[in-house]
Amino acid sequence: MARASGPCQGAPDTGETPVLQNMQSEFVDLHCHSTASDGTLLPADVVRLAVRSGLSALALTDHDTIGGVAEAAAEAKKLGIDFLPGIEISAEYPSPGTMHILGYGVDPNSASLKRLTDQLIEGRDNRNPRIVAKLNEMNVAVTMDEWENEAKGNVLGRPQLAAILLRKGYVSSIKQAFDKYIGQGAPAYFDKERLTPKRALAMIRESGGLPVLAHPIQLRTTNDGQLDRIVKDLLDLGLAGLEIIHSDHDAAWVEKCTSLADRYGLLKTGGSDFHGTNKKDIELGVARGRRIPRELFDALTQRLAAGQRTSAG
């Protein structure tokens, strides 16, 4: 029988009563966002969806925060799915590309992680009022208070601001809010200060995590040699892995990143980059029709465990 290839199918179709509790699903998702950053599902709801989708492990990787990790971890424990705390950081990188670094297995209680997230939030706090001031100049009536209310105690991200502009009738879609006002190249766009790649990698390591280069396609390198050089440079700075499977990666990119990771002995990870309805076409556990094999999660957790043994010894 052919393996289930449809999205989010859990147990194999044997006609028998599924015994999910005793069976380890072959699939995981190691890159997703919750309301703690710019996703639309609560952290616990992302975990519930993962279970419904037949996944056996999940890593939550909100932008700049681990604010959703405790809730997700508790729900994962309750439902019997493996869980790994994660974070996603934007590093300094020349436009039009972007460099995002995932940090897996960071210790939520470590002082360096607190330093890291404080610094990232400060970058946003410096940027956000400039966006609002510019919008006001353009006769768009919106305030920082409204934005903070919309964020409900979570990280302030532009998608929430876009939602306010939509609700108030300044735009007819989230996309239009970015195109017309707050997206890259639009009049009320301001960049936030970013960490250098060196610092991002070091701080993830100091927080007990493993740094992984997210969706390498978004670097927008113009040839394979350039990509190879960047990965090599990051490796020298402590990079531990490459995200090979991602919703932006077609088969050629999955293959390219796989051989690059193998060449440098890097871990391979994969995830959907699920954001709930903020990215409507992305389903949890599915990256461009591809699912993420459990073995990627196992290799990652084994490396983390080995690191802990080393640092404890």
Residues 6+ apart with CB under 8 A from 269: 30, 31, 102, 104, 212, 241, 242, 243, 244, 245, 296, 300
State the binding partner of 290 from Zn ion, ligand AMP, Fe ion, none, CB within 5 to 8 A by kind. Answer: none
Token couple for 131: 């966006």
Binder of Fe ion out of 75, 82, 243, 273 (CB under 5 A): 273
Q: Alpha-carbon distance 197 to 9, whole Å? A: 38
- On whether the CB atoms of residues 95 and 64 are closer than 8 A, the answer is no
Residues 6+ apart with CB under 8 A from 204: 87, 89, 101, 103, 106, 116, 210, 211
- Candidates 32-40, 68-76, 207-215, 293-301; binding stretch for Zn ion (CB under 5 A): 32-40
Q: Quick check: 71 binds Zn ion (CB under 5 A)?
A: no
- 180-209 positions binding ligand AMP, by CB under 6 A: 183
Q: Quick check: 29 binds Zn ion (CB under 5 A)?
A: no
| Long-range CB pairs of 197-200, under 8 A, 24+ apart, other chains included | 197/91, 197/92, 197/93, 197/99, 197/101, 197/233, 197/234, 197/237, 198/237, 200/89, 200/91, 200/101
Binder of Zn ion out of 29, 38, 71, 82 (CB under 5 A): 38
Q: Quick check: 34 binds ligand AMP (CB under 6 A)?
A: no
Binder of ligand AMP out of 31, 48, 63, 290 (CB under 6 A): 63
Binder of Fe ion out of 81, 82, 100, 200 (CB under 5 A): 100
Q: Quick check: 114 binds ligand AMP (CB under 6 A)?
A: no
User: By three-state DSSP, how is residue 100 classified?
Assistant: strand
- Candidates 44-52, 153-161, 195-203, 252-260; binding stretch for ligand AMP (CB under 6 A): 153-161
Q: Alpha-carbon distance 210 to 86, whole Å? A: 9
User: By three-state DSSP, how is residue 178 classified?
Assistant: helix
Q: Locate tokens 């919106």: which residue? A: 142
- On whether the CB atoms of residues 76 and 68 are closer than 8 A, the answer is no
Q: Quick check: 178 binds ligand AMP (CB under 6 A)?
A: yes
State the binding partner of 157 from Fe ion, ligand AMP, Zn ion, none, CB within 5 to 8 A by kind. Answer: ligand AMP
- Candidates 68-76, 97-105, 174-182, 264-272; binding stretch for ligand AMP (CB under 6 A): 174-182
For ligand AMP, the closer of residues 25 and 37 by Cβ is: 37
- On whether the CB atoms of residues 157 and 38 are closer than 8 A, the answer is yes
Q: Tell me how far, at minimum, the Cβ of 273 lies from Fe ion, in Å.
A: 4
Q: Tell me how far, at minimum, the Cβ of 166 lies from ligand AMP, in Å.
A: 12
The contact set with ligand AMP (CB under 6 A) reads 38, 63, 157-159, 174-175, 178, 183, 275, 278
The contact set with Fe ion (CB under 5 A) reads 88, 100, 214, 273
